[in-house]
Amino acid sequence: MYAYIVRRAVYAVFILVGVNLITFALFFKVNTPDDIARLQLGVKYVTPEAIAKWKTERGYDKPLLYNAAAAGRHKFTDTIYFEKSVEMFRFNFGRSDDGRDIAYEISSRMWPSLALAVPVFLVGMLLQITFALMMAFFRATNIDFWGVVLCVLMMSISGLFYIIGGQYLISKLWNLVPISGYAAGFDALKFLALPVVVGVIGGIGSGARWYRTIFLEEVGKDYVRTARAKGLSEVVVFFRHVLRNAMIPILTGAVVTIPLLFMGSLVAESFFGIPGLGSYTIEAIQSQDFAVVRSMVFIGSVLYILGLLLTDISYTLVDPRVRFD
């Protein structure tokens, strides 16, 4: 199994190099550093000297992929692609356009993101599974039917509506919690309550329906019939056999999203004024800060690949039938 994991990890490095090439192509090949410099400097101040200075300051004054002027291996290493990529892989992201250290920003903004994302993930999953269990247990009755109707209805409502509606109802009309903002320590609780509730409600529709199909699929299997034939009650069959077996696809499916919790939620964070990585990304997108967006793309990919790796491992842990060669 260790050989398998090592193999997957090596594969992950190759994928990361691919991701890096794609983002590099997007950010540097389609828009040359000259284009970005012109955009950043503004129309008024564009002179060849100013562009050259801008490029030197940020290390963009080199060939993109192949440096014909350099000697030996420096032909490949003395380029924008190589230098920027190496720095990326060392998690050294450089500075954003307003001169701040990106790595420091990320490490300090990670915590508010997690403070929102982790409760939403845990509470949300618990509620979704509970709701799905109820529908599956009372399958083919009115409870199941109207539960599915409710799920489809909730799925069809835009996530923005939950946020705006929640802010209006709970913060503005009932005055229970502040509309937006954030504070460190325990004060964060009153700022986080509403976003967590909204996040949980927004995810319930699609989540519960998806888990319901997993439960129903499991209910139709042969071992369930065997358990009933043994004379077990429906409750025991359902909660001891079906639930435990259905947890395999549910848990392994959830593993891939766990690392991505670090990235935070783009929309919720900026709506509720939480200074996490999601709102950082949005600000960077809106101010066209390419260095920050590129760093976030890189981190997001690293986390996703980590999630894939964890999924592979979790299969071996929860399901003894899965073997690797």
Partner 1 sequence: MPLLPVILWTDALIYLLLAAVAGFVWYVRRHEHLRAPWWRVAQTPAAMSALVVLALFIAIGLLDSVHFRLALPAAPAMQADRTASRDVAYAVDVKSMLDVLLSSIANRPERTYSAPLATHAYAKETVELPGAGGAPGKQVRAYPRLKYGGAHLRDPERDWQADVVLTGFRGVALALPLWLLASLALVAACTPAERVASRDFWHAVWGGKTAVPWRAILITLALLALLGVPVILLSANYHVLGTDKVGLDVLYLSLKSVRTALVIGTLTTLVMLPFSVLLGIMAGYLRGAVDDLIQYFYTTLNSIPGVLLIAAAVLVLQVYIETHPDVFPTSAQRADFRLLWLCIILGITSWTGLCRLLRGETLKLRELEYVQAAQAFGVSEWRIMLRHILPNVMHIVLISVVMDFSGLVLAEAVLSYVGVGVDPSMISFGTMINAARLEMGREPMVWWSLASAFAFMLALVLAANLFADAVRDAFDPRVRVGVRKLRFAMASGEA
Positions touching partner 1 (CB under 8 A) are: 4, 14-16, 18-19, 22-23, 26-27, 30-31, 35-36, 38-39, 152-153, 155-161, 164, 167-168, 213, 217, 249, 252, 260, 263, 266-267, 281-282, 285-286, 288, 290, 293-294, 296-297, 300-301, 304-305, 308, 311-312, 315, 322-325
Local structure of 95: helix, strand or coil: strand
Kindly tell me which of 145 and 189 has the beta carbon lying closer to partner 1: 145
Kindly tell me which of 27 and 91 has the beta carbon lying closer to partner 1: 27
**CA atoms of 102 and 83, how far apart (whole Å):** 17
Do 197 and 123 form a contact (C-beta atoms < 8 A)? no
Kindly tell me which of 124 and 202 has the beta carbon lying closer to partner 1: 202
Q: Where are the alpha helices (DSSP H) in the chain?
A: 2-24, 33-41, 48-57, 74-77, 80-89, 102-137, 142-156, 159-166, 188-219, 222-229, 234-236, 243-255, 266-271, 277-286, 290-318
Local structure of 101: helix, strand or coil: strand
The residue among 244, 243, 252 whose CA lies nearest residue 309 is: 252
Kindly tell me which of 88 and 297 has the beta carbon lying closer to partner 1: 297
Q: CB of 229: closest distance to partner 1 in angstroms?
A: 24
Kindly tell me which of 128 and 301 has the beta carbon lying closer to partner 1: 301
| Three state DSSP letters for 281-297 | HHHHHHCCCHHHHHHHH
- Tell me the CA end-to-end span of the chain in Å, nearest whole number: 8
Two tokens, residue 65: 């992929």
Kindly tell me which of 35 and 101 has the beta carbon lying closer to partner 1: 35
